[in-house]
Structure 1
């Protein structure tokens, strides 16, 4: 019986390159499906379910990395080979960490191109004969946040299933590292919008003066540096889902525009004179207490009630009991396969040690610990001595470096004093001070500018 040809999805916006790549793959016996945009690519992926995806990272309607993350969230075992003209090492690292099987820099030779695809195909065929596959697993490792059978996660899964079928706005809360973006992806993937785009925007990672442009877009010449028209995240998410992470870091003036957007479903790019209507579902997330942010005047109360329709609270790892061991064991299997090593599991003492930790970094921290063990040891049974020496120190409650506030100080004075002391301890470094204070660097930059201070 003749075996079916391996299926490849090629997402490339340049017609000439699509023709060349399809010719090379066709001659090698691959069945190729074509797409020229991210939207077409996602629809084709749902339709054909290919084993291999060739993905250009510079697509006209969406960032290729976000599309890759969405595909991997839907089908973690698919092999995605990214292609770009950008020679940046940072981009390559980001793509591999996000789950890319391989990274090709254009222009590349036909032999290099075909070798990458054939290698991915061999991995997929090997996986069907002897799972689990030995492949790069950064994308599937992120799925670890949903591993576990604790009552806390059972409740989250039940809410996600119900919420996905609705059109309601979803507000996800939880500490850093608990899997808030993964929860948003799960809602999107189970909804009737799954074939549409999933656009994620971290409101805390973008300077306040650029955030409006990132959300709503801008017109050419609307400000210095606006050399072309740019569609914002809201326009890019038309027909799909817009995920606004760290929503409580959004500047007040932009909160007003977001509220108007939620009320009218229209956007007005910076510098535009006309509005346009878009069809977008909003999912937002924060690692803060949104009610407290409202009480402090940092988040609009009317916007809060507009967004807080279906709340989902991602539980911290310390509240999930034996899920810690289930996640650790799954991560150990995956990372061992990635590194080509053989680990037989965790000793009883190691399991006890893992269960005793408070895990302030939650699932993200646990994955880093397991990866550290796999990288630095050859295999066998994981004993407590193999765990990072800093684990206990990092997870034990820190001694507060802040003196008790002086009686009579206002909240603003106490806040400024705490920030200035943190900056002094870290030599004026805003990112390091922000990490200690558990706030976004953009929050500190905004406050320092308000005080007439500028720091690195």
Structure 2
């Protein structure tokens, strides 16, 4: 059954109210009627109507007071104002107060029905847009920060797999947030209220790994002075996350494969088989197929685990997410350390955004903590950045050459100075041309943000604006000469 929107008619003239009701009797809406302002407020709070038809002349208050009240209470109902006393000033006034349409008495049935239908259609479209933005343009998600397209794709995959029991195989460089991703899958799914247990297979000695996963009984090995539950039993009903799974020994991989297939295991030193219900998520910072080819990872285990692959992008490919994450860490550590930092200078933003971040989010986190601990200003400037980020033109140097220049440079032999020089003969550009190319490259890199480009080039924004104006003025003159 489709949703019937609620429409509230606030009209003190009884004959007109009945007429409007007759006009709307065949519409698929729930129509309520009230004849005074006080009662209208109570009804609005009780019903939260999608649409309000508001007469301006009420016995106990002016309709404008209701518009002001709706705004102050942050009530999102759409409002169509009805009045017989229409002037341009009245129309402008009620629109300014939040009304979305205006009906002047008298009006016919078709006019009323069409106006109401258009308003309800507009609300439905707006809700669809809001839902889309909430679902596909999220700025954060279960521990992740960032709204870049690569991360939106990650969020959508997590949404899709969260309710399933299928194994998820997460790949990505160190520091990209693989455990955060596994935890997000757990928290988004039906097992969110159950335990999430993480094991780092690369941080535990091989001879202790079996005990860590399956547990052991008393006396199973030297030092086993009491019985211990392993991660498998601790994760009962929830999720077991095996990080850096390619570091696991081949012997234990065989036991893990059997455990995944049967959901049964034996503690070290025990002959009793135990059964658990849990979900497996695993991760690695390596290429698992390369590990299979090298004989370090069982092929059958790989295909058992590799049901839903999920790759986390490196931080350097996440664009403005870098600044969002950096601001989060800056505000967190500034509060923790009692420092004054609140933002970054434009130049610093450009440097942070253009650096390739080989250590990903973990490296960015450490850089920001270093800055907050060692300095205390309102804005993070380039001088506060640790090496190698404090290089003045660090970001500009990371911009690739234009395609033609790259081919020309690469065509020259590496160890011969003269051929390299001859490759450039006849293509040497004037200083003005080189300057223009550098400025235009910086502007493109900064997505047409002139202040950022100026910070990157270590010049004033007014200098770039002046240069651009000069180029634009000279172009028509050059065209005239050619013609």
**TM-score after normalising by structure 2:** 0.51
Segments of 5+ residues of structure 1 without an aligned counterpart are 1-141, 398-456
2:286 to 285, 288, 292: 288
Instruction: Number of aligned residue pairs: give it.
Output: 256
User: CA separation in 1, counterparts of 2:389 and 2:274?
Assistant: 51
Q: How does 1:35-434 map to 2 (within 5 A)?
A: 146-391=144-389
Other structure's SS at 1:367 match: helix
Residues 236 and 344 of structure 1, relative CA distance in 2, 3 Å threshold: closer
* Residues 92-111 of structure 1: per-residue CA shift (max 9 Å, x gap): xxxxxxxxxxxxxxxxxxxx
Residue-by-residue CA offset, 1:255-311 (whole Å, 9 max, x unaligned): 000000011100101111121111111110100001111111100000000001111
| Deviation of 1:346 (Å) | 0.9
- Name the Cα RMSD after superposition: 2.2
Provide the rounded CA distance (Å) in 2 between the counterparts of 1:392 and 1:300. 45
> Any idea what SS the aligned residue of 1:379 has?
coil
What are structure 2's unaligned runs of at least 5 residues? 1-139, 399-483
- Distance, in Å, in 1 between the alignment partners of 2:252 and 2:178 is 22
**Over 2 Å off, 4+ runs:** 142-145, 389-397
Q: Which whole-Å deviations, capped at 9, do the CAs of 1:142-197 have from their partners, x for residues lacking one?
A: 98972111110000000011111111111111011100000111111111111111
What is the rounded CA distance, in whole Å, between the counterparts of 2:141 and 2:366 in structure 1? Answer: 14
Displacement of 1:218 in angstroms is 1.0
The 2-side partners of 1:247 and 1:391 are apart by 33
Secondary structure class of the residue paired with 2:316: helix
Shift of 1:345: 1.3
Aligned equivalents of 2:206, 2:389: Cα separation in 1:
35
| CA distance in 2: counterparts of 1:343 and 1:233, whole angstroms | 41
- CA distance, structure 2, for counterparts of residue 293 and residue 154 of structure 1: 29
| Helix, strand or coil at the partner of 1:220 | coil
Matches of 1:356 and 1:243, distance apart in 2: 33
Classify the secondary structure of the residue corresponding to 2:272. Answer: coil
Render the CA deviation track for 1:367-425: whole Å, top value 9, x for unaligned: 1111111111112221111011344699999xxxxxxxxxxxxxxxxxxxxxxxxxxxx
1:144–1:330 Cα contact (<8 Å) kept: no
In the alignment, the residues of structure 1 paired with residue 312 and residue 237 of structure 2 have an alpha-carbon distance, to the nearest angstrom, of: 26
Larger Rg: 2
Q: Hey, what's the Cα distance between the residues in 1 that align with 2:178 and 2:376?
A: 33
Partners in 1 of 2:218 and 2:272 — Cα distance? 14
Distance in structure 2 (CA, Å) of the matches to 1:145 and 1:385: 30
Q: Is the 8 A contact 1:244 1:283 kept in 2?
A: yes
Instruction: Tell me the residue number matched to 2:100.
Output: none
Spell out, residue by residue over 1:202-226, the C-alpha distance to the aligned partner (whole angstroms, 9 max, x if none): 0001111111111111111111111
| Alpha-carbon offset, residue 344 of structure 1 | 3.5
For the Cα contact (< 8 Å) 2:351–2:389, is it kept in 1? no
| Secondary structure of 2:241 counterpart | strand
